Amino acid sequence: DGGITQSPKYLFRKEGQNVTLSCEQNLNHDAMYWYRQDPGQGLRLIYYSQIVNDFQKGDIAEGYSVSREKKESFPLTVTSAQKNPTAFYLCASSTRTGARNTEAFFGQGTRLTVV
Partner 1 sequence: DAKTTQPPSMDCAEGRAANLPCNHSTISGNEYVYWYRQIHSQGPQYIIHGLKNNETNEMASLIITEDRKSSTLILPHATLRDTAVYYCIVRVREGAAGNKLTFGGGTRVLVKP
Residues in contact with partner 1 by the rule CB under 8 A: 31, 33, 35, 41-45, 48, 50, 56, 58-59, 88, 90, 92, 94, 99-101, 103-109, 111
Task: For residue 89, list its beta bridge partners.
Answer: 36, 110
Choose between 33 and 64: whose C-beta lies nearer to partner 1.
33
Inter-CA distances, 7 with 23, 74, 83, Å:
7, 12, 22
Minimum CB separation of residue 70 from partner 1 in Å reads 18
User: Rounded to the nearest whole angstrom, what is the least distance from the CB of residue 85 to partner 1 in the complex?
Assistant: 18
For the bound state, the minimum distance from the C-beta of residue 16 to partner 1, rounded and expressed in Å, comes to 27
Count of C-beta atoms within a 10 Å radius of residue 83:
7
- The minimum distance between CB 86 and partner 1, in angstroms, equals 15
Please, which residue, 80 or 111, has the CB nearer to partner 1?
A: 111
Nearer to partner 1, 52 or 105 (CB): 105
Which is closer to partner 1, CB of 13 or CB of 44?
Answer: 44
The pairing of beta strand 64-66 with beta strand 96-97: unpaired
E-strand spans in the chain?
Answer: 4-7, 10-13, 19-25, 31-37, 43-51, 54-57, 64-66, 76-78, 87-94, 96-97, 100-101, 105-106, 110-114
